[in-house]
Amino acid sequence: MRWTQLADRAGASLRASLVTGVAIAGLAAGLRDAQAQASKPPGASNTPSPAQPADGGAISLDEITVAAQHPTFGTNGFVATRSTAGMKGNDSILETPATVSVITREELDVRGVQDLNTAVAYTPNVQGVDYPAGQGGPTFVLRGYGANNFDNVYEDGLRYGFNSFDQNVEPYAYERIDVIKGPISVLYGAGQPGGIINLVSKRPSFTPFNEVFIQGGNRNRIQAGFDLSGPVQGAPDFAYRITGLVRNSDTQVRYTPDDRTFLAPAITWRPDADTSLTVLAKYAEFRGGGSEQSLPIIGSIIPSARGFYQPNVFVGQPNFNTFLLENKEIGYILDHSFAPGWLVHSAFRIYETSTKADVVGAVPGFTPPGFLSEAVVPYLRRQSSYGILADNHVEGQFGTFGITHSVVFGIDVQDYHRDDARTFPLGYPLAAGTRLIDLYIPVYNDSFSFPNRTNIATRASQRQIGAYFQDQMKWNGFIFTGSVRNDWVDQQIDTVNSFPNLPLAAANRATVSKQDFSALSYRVALGYEFDGGVVPYMSYSTSFNPQIAGQRASGAALDPREAKQIEGGVKWQPTGTNALFTASYFDITQTNIPLADPLNPGFFVQTGEAVAKGFELEGKASLFEGFNVIFGYAHLDTKVTKDTNPRLIGNRLPNAPANTVSLFADYAFPLGSPFGGLRAGAGVRYLSARTDSTNVDTIPSYAVVDASLSYDLARINPDWKGATLSVNATNLFDKRYYTSGFYTGYVFEGFRRSVFGTLTYRW
């Protein structure tokens, strides 16, 4: 779509978003005034005052302010005690009836995080599916359930993307990453049942902060970036921030780059203590390989007669494979406190993407027995999309009859459109359109002939409106949370298949799949806060997730996913410490789970029902000055309970390890000690064995070690104040491991050792 057309559509949506925000704020003000008037004695003053219980004793209300909505609020080092993601309000993690994990900016920097998979690697029951050199964005498994096409990733409370070819993620752009586990559709609508990952953008600071860095590492990696922020000179009500990064790098796979350009300018206007408006923009270009990199199990995990494949084997064509993703977006975040204890929040974003992908994918049905060579098909893929997203809600506090109410209510909107065109070689899907690659001694000398017409053209759209309400009530230590939401969804997928030279009825047809539906989601929870910062809780929640990205091989749309969860746990924030510990048990049942269709690459099948249950332990703490530790353990039991294929009933879900363990410790030596200025950290991550959807193949367990080391160069020369030299390594001992792939009998190789040094200067 042309930017002028997108701007017109976005302008209409923006006006509707602002009108909705004003209407919600007006409704909230009316409710607040009515409540205050009803509780006011005759002749009393109209001056606002704290709510009073029936016995006249004061109710303690948490302060809701614009400043409290800043991403750094409630964050100290590796530990975060508050999050706006788990409840959509200014809430304590301790009082949120769900498991909330936060990866702070300091933790991201210390661990040298370069991708979203690594960012969440120490979070229990959250596994990124490693896909080195593959095209598209990251995918995850949360509490056993796979998440495709960013249906579990959000940015500043708005959906991040709708298709793996739409987006990718640059972690340097974010102040923190919040992970909320379990069904959370009651607040976000389009969340899968294992939870969501919310990326919190860096925002302008009125306190000057500047950072530049240059980085180099193995695989010819060169990267440089900057993060500059402060007040605008001569305009004290404005602050700016501009974050940028440029990378040129190879990968562990031959002929495959990992290059990117990223730029994110932002400006904040704060005319008074009650109002903050931040405009955020982003431009990103990701350049990589177009190889699918699906590897047969025989030759990777199980040796063939010729042994194992080389770690850098490339399943593609060097003169053909290309992946280029360009993303542009702009939006705003508005917070306005219109009365004591009441705040309206409005967020809006539009984005447009374009993707050029010359891809080589596996064709399992044509792969010869023994897997000594692999059948692949090259194809051209061109995709464009745009999305318009908005969320307007009000949060406020008041008291009635000795009960403190913290309410959030609002409306969010998602409007997404995608065009996808794929062209296959002449002769496909018969054998004439495929190629064989010897994975032990690959020879890349094939040329391809493509027709002058598109073979598969898809146009997809999804519009979703959700209205939600939540009330958290506190009384004498008890915490009751009730949330309800309804979604109205309109989605359509138009597909045209055109293979004119083939005598296959299914290869030449047009299909239209259209669905209109609504669904109700809700959450109820009860907790109790003991002295000493201990809160046990129980919750029941449901989820509803429409699926637009992907379809059945027949052309039919996928049914919405639905799930329900029971969760119980205890959180502990020891008084007077910088620490937070969580233990939880969960039991999730989901229906209509999408899985890769093993017989039709690029399409999905849906099981009837599956269950995932287990427990998690997580802690983040600064135990004493300079020492940080994070640990996690998760046990997970998953099972397919209903399926049209009886052989799948009782199977574990793919890529769902029974046990995971992680530990990372970081220590900054005291400045007065002989090692002053030195900071060192190390961690280990363990995943037990996993399997694919058929449970035929076993993916072995593995453990990898990460390490970090940094030194303050001012200890060598005071003139170098602000300069730091650091070295980071992931998978330090270069452990070779795998995750389950798209197809039965195939895997993806995990990320091999990465080592890079960074020189950073801050002032």
Percentage of the chain exceeding pLDDT 90: 63
State the average pLDDT over residues 83-93: 90
Residue-level pLDDT at 560: 83
Q: List b or e across 326-363, with b for residues whose CB sees 16 or more CB atoms inside 10 angstroms.
A: bbbbbbbbbbbbbbbbbbbbbbbbbbbbbbbbbbbbbb
More confident residue, 181 or 165: 181
- Structural element, H or E, at residue 631: strand 627-642
In this structure, what token pair is assigned to residue 101?
Answer: 């994990």
Q: Does residue 38 carry a pLDDT above 60? A: no
Residue-level pLDDT at 444: 85
* CA nearest to 702, candidates 232, 121, 143: 121
More confident residue, 69 or 457: 457
Q: What is the DSSP string of 51-104?
A: ---TTSPPPP-----SGGGSTTTTEETTEE-EESTTTSSSEEGGGSSS-EEEEE
State the average pLDDT over residues 622-641: 95
State the average pLDDT over residues 222-229: 98
400, 31 in Cβ contact below 8 A? no
Q: Does residue 194 carry a pLDDT above 60? A: yes
* CA nearest to 206, candidates 277, 265, 269: 269
Comparing 271-280, 377-386, 586-595, 754-763, the range with the smallest average pLDDT is 586-595
Alpha carbon separation from 725 to 130, 436, 678, 719, 751 (Å, rounded): 28, 47, 10, 15, 24
513, 493 in Cβ contact below 8 A? yes
At a CB cut-off of 8 Å and minimum separation 6, what does 369 contact? none
Report whether the peptide linkage leading into residue 429 is cis, meaning its omega lies within 30 degrees of zero: yes
More confident residue, 254 or 644: 254
* CA nearest to 689, candidates 657, 654, 727, 730: 657
For each of the domains in the chain, give its residue range(s) and CATH number, in order of start. Answer: 3-42+58-762 (2.40.170.20)
> What's the chain's average pLDDT?
88
- pLDDT category of residue 311 using cuts at 50, 70 and 90: confident
Read off the pLDDT of residues 126-159 as tens digits, 9 standing for 90 and up: 999 888 887 888 899 999 998 888 989 999 999 9
Q: Does residue 650 carry a pLDDT above 70? A: yes
- Tell me the residue ranges of DSSP E strands in 183-256: 195-201, 209-217, 221-232, 235-248
Residue-level pLDDT at 166: 84
State the average pLDDT over residues 547-569: 81
Residue-level pLDDT at 5: 60
Comparing 281-295, 455-469, 508-522, the range with the smallest average pLDDT is 508-522
Pairing of strands 195-201, 153-155: parallel
Residue-level pLDDT at 419: 96
Handedness of CA 38, 484, 480, 344 (dihedral sign): negative
- pLDDT category of residue 497 using cuts at 50, 70 and 90: confident
* CA nearest to 493, candidates 544, 453, 549: 549
Cα separation of 519 and 220, whole Å?
A: 50
Q: Does residue 236 carry a pLDDT above 90? A: yes
Query: What are the beta bridge partners of residue 141?
Result: 127, 146
- pLDDT category of residue 510 using cuts at 50, 70 and 90: confident
More confident residue, 48 or 85: 85
Residue-level pLDDT at 743: 83
Question: How many C-beta atoms surround the C-beta of residue 35 within 10 A?
Answer: 16
Residue-level pLDDT at 489: 93
pTM beyond 0.95: the answer is no
